[in-house]
Structures are given as C-alpha cells and as structure tokens.
Amino acid sequence: MRLTKKLKELVIARIESGDQIIDIADALGVTRQALYKAKWDNEEFGKAWDAAKEIGDQIQLSECEKEADFRARIGWLEPKFFEGRICGFIPKFSDSLLQLRLRALAPEKYADRAKVDHSGAIERSPDSIVIEFVSPNEPDQSSGS
C-alpha cells in the first residue's frame, strides 16, 4: 500500500503525540509492516518519523512519570472482599516507585552509594595466580587464629 502525503502527515502527528505504531496502523487499516516499509522507502518520511518519535517518547515518559508519582504519593484504592463481595477499600501506595522518583529527582541525595574507581593497570601472569584449597572441616588458617 502506498501512503498518501495526507496519511503520512497523520502518521507523523500520531507518532508525535505518543501513539504506538500498532495503534496507528489499526486506525488507518494498514499493517505495521506497511508503515515501516513506507518509512524505509522514503528518506524524508523516515527522518520526520524519527523526529516525531523522539517527541512522542518524551510525552510517553512524562505520562509514565506522572502515573508513577500518582501511585507513589496519592496511591489507589484496592477492593477488600468478604464472602465474595466488596466490603470496603484499602489505600495502597508504591514505595518502590517513590524510591525511583527520588533517585531520579535528587540522585546526589538518594542514589545508591556504591562506587567503583580504578586507575592504573592490572598485571596478571600465570605465575602470580595462587590457588589454595581449604577443607570445609578445618578452621581457616589465614585469619591468624
């Protein structure tokens, strides 16, 4: 199927708004493969697609961050059942999402502290490798006790 200029503009607009390619294809009544083929066959359309995808990805990221914030700070209500019927709701929150957001927003304060720093060279030769066999029934002699 050959995409008209109007259809290509619609595809670019939908990609830019963060829509998924499968959803765009379904809405247009074409296959994903047809959309990708049009992208590969037309350099100008491909460049516009890639630029729109960067914008769309940022929109999706923003939406996901908003949802993560909501689940971490405001939470959601989970139904409580008794004898097969809803008898109430329990507020739930996501501590792990809150931790991730804190690490993203203030890494200097909340990031993991593990740091590996190496400078120089590591020299290894077969002569420098020592293999020591220790019986599990004997006490460790290397501790000096």
What integer pLDDT is reported at residue 2 of this predicted model?
Answer: 77
As averages over each run of 10 residues, the pLDDT of the chain (145 residues) reads: 86 95 94 93 95 94 91 93 95 91 87 72 67 66 53
Phi-psi category of 76—alpha, beta or left, where left has phi over 0 and alpha has psi -120 to 50? beta
3: number of Cβ within 10 Å? 20
Radius of gyration of the chain (CA): 28
pLDDT of residue 104: 85
